[in-house]
A and B are shown apart, each in its own frame.
Chain A
């Protein structure tokens, strides 16, 4: 395999973006920021790949106009996945692995506030047997959380500890939509919302866009002093049927973890839109107790759909760049109740 690294990352997040659902206005400054930080020009980018959703935007082909942000004449080598942009990163990584290109710019965007997220996401379910009931994301997470509580796998206090750490860490993250820790006791004293979930157990509705630059070998070394070399990248999917799998587990995380080397991971950015889902992820990944989880605050403090996973990879890469970790893990999830999962292990040396 070729040595490929994350060499650039830029993002914008906000509770409610007042511009167009194509988010061109946000992507333009993100791309400019990446050109400046990597030293690459537009013409140095060998492949472009994005992740977004038509249903989030409320119209067909919502990604098409976003191509304008590239300035795509002369034409570009470009693709799009209807997934979190973490999977666009996977496609871009493959493209570099084929040897066809040496660099890629991966971006994602989503204006979740354009619609009613609790209804929109019901469209991810089985259209005949589930969507007509409009089960919402929060409720499905609530069912999952209770299963673990009833089975003695975690407690409401464990969940509050996740929220407390996330809210506290978010104080140093300028992009976090929600921040401000208090104490586990204070969080537990707050009212239940979707029993057994409290509002701080659920990620806030977030609009955002983010982009990552990948580069191979010496090209990566020219772009940044300490590239975050991708030493493991894999993903798996579980079935959707909520009854046919044990929701307290995430076999796809376990299977993906078997395909990468997690030994020595110092920092893990886990894409857990609900507090108990971080507990599931930690268990499935078998991370040691001293692994620093979500120093950015994670998805509990801002979770822009279709970039939330890419953000985890970007945040983990930053820990490599700044030398605070030699090995970091970025994780992305997609689908209801942690259905689909991607792991990206990055190292300070290759």
Chain B
């Protein structure tokens, strides 16, 4: 679900990398919007009638006056009138149309309030407030708001007849008082966003050091503790770490866990040992993998050393270090690292 590639641009102050955050959300729709979305699947548009007589689509889940769950759902037409519009010259991913189009607020016949959707016209000159439009349904409907593909101008049709607002449609029962009620439809709505992640200047120097096979920490000018990775702010003193300290590639395991559980988006195949490793010369532990030893033989206090990937696989990432492995030296005494737990 995540993709990123390290980009090494030596001239920039900081390192950056694209990250895609993506998940297909499974949404419980509830009795009101569940019925509304089912209606779209059936090719009808439902609106909610409020206690003060307004007819609103998509329906409000709860009445603005009484705060009670909306129960009065009525069918409205699939044709209506543009009450406002704007031009969308540069559509972004996910919008209803991939070419320039108009967004429109459209009051459907039988409704008293407008709904928002795209209007498929080629230029701003083809849309105006007061324009008559109708729904263009998606080829395949699945109980989502995108079952309405978009609006199109009414003169695209000949006879001018539209479904009339009519039949009241019962909402599902509200939640029972003594426990969960009946399931409502699930709507799957993907959310995928692209970001550029940047490391701080201090972190960037650390990752660049790794590209040279070095583990570089920095010292806090106030407390003199050596942080690895270096920090934009020493978490105790609130000032950036500064003077570089090249650290040994050996250290001790302060504590660890064995990850046996697989999960969505996991990068390393379980089981694996995730450990805090206090490098010799550092004042804070670093998280990494321990391999080359059965998991049940790993101990707190164990001496370990970095195992690097082949140089040709290196980038500006801590993944240049494949893992840590035991050095075979005697374990560190608990008292020497207990204040790092």
Contact = CB atoms under 8 A, between A and B. Distances in A.
A contacts B: CB pair < 8 Å: yes
B116 A20 contact: no
Contact of B87 (A19, A69, A116, A195): A195
Interface in B31-84: 33, 36-37, 54, 56-58, 60, 64, 83-84
Choose among B115, B118, B193, B231 the residue with the greatest number of A CB atoms under 10 Å from its CB.
Answer: B193
Interface residues of B, number: 68
Given A68-B238, A242-B105, A150 B199 contact: no
A147 B191 contact: no
A293 B36 CA distance: 45
B200 A58 contact: no
A70 B195 CA distance: 26
Interface string A121-158: 01100111111111110011111111100100000000
Nearest to B113: A243
A234 to B, nearest CB: 22
A18 B198 contact: yes
B56 A19 contact: no
A287 interface: no
B239 A71 contact: yes
Interface stretch (B13-21, B167-175, B266-274, B321-329): B13-21
A263 interface: no
Interface string B129-163: 10000000000000011100000000000000000
Contacts of B235: 67-68, 71-73
Contacts of A22: 200, 232
B92 A118 contact: yes
A192 B124 contact: yes
A276 B308 CA distance: 59
Nearest to A245: B113
A241 B33 contact: no
Nearest to B104: A143
B117 interface: yes
A146 B85 contact: yes
Contacts of A134: 92-95
Given A18-B14, A28-B240, A115 B145 contact: no
B123 to A, nearest CB: 10
Contacts of B232: 19-20, 22, 24-25, 28, 68-69
A133 B145 contact: yes
Interface residues of A, number: 64
A61 interface: no
A309 to B, nearest CB: 23
A136 B104 CA distance: 13
Interface string B190-223: 0101111111110100000000000000000000
B341 to A, nearest CB: 16
A25 B116 contact: no
A128 B25 CA distance: 10
A119 interface: yes
Contact of B64 (A25, A73, A239): A239
B198 A59 contact: no
A270 B335 CA distance: 59
Interface in B276-316: none
Contact of B198 (A21, A119, A131): A21
Contacts of B332: none
A71 B85 contact: no
Contacts of B12: 18
Contact of A114 (B94, B145, B197, B233): B197
B145 A21 contact: no
A139 B231 contact: no
Contacts of A59: 21
A21 B197 contact: yes
Contacts of A335: none
Contacts of A71: 233-239
Contact of A133 (B37, B146, B231): B146
B103 A70 contact: no
Nearest to B29: A128
B9 to A, nearest CB: 11
A193 B89 contact: yes
B187 interface: yes
B233 A68 contact: yes
Interface in A257-305: none
B247 interface: no
A70 B239 CA distance: 9
A194 B58 contact: no
B164 interface: no
Given A58-B195, A143-B116, A241-B113, 7 more contacts: A18-B16, A20-B198, A70-B238, A113-B196, A131-B189, A132-B94, A139-B103
12 contacts: A18-B198, A22-B232, A25-B200, A27-B233, A28-B240, A68-B231, A128-B145, A133-B118, A135-B95, A146-B86, A147-B84, A241-B113
Nearest first, the 10 closest Cβ-Cβ pairs linking A and B are: A142-B86, A71-B238, A58-B195, A243-B113, A195-B87, A134-B94, A24-B232, A129-B58, A20-B200, A68-B235
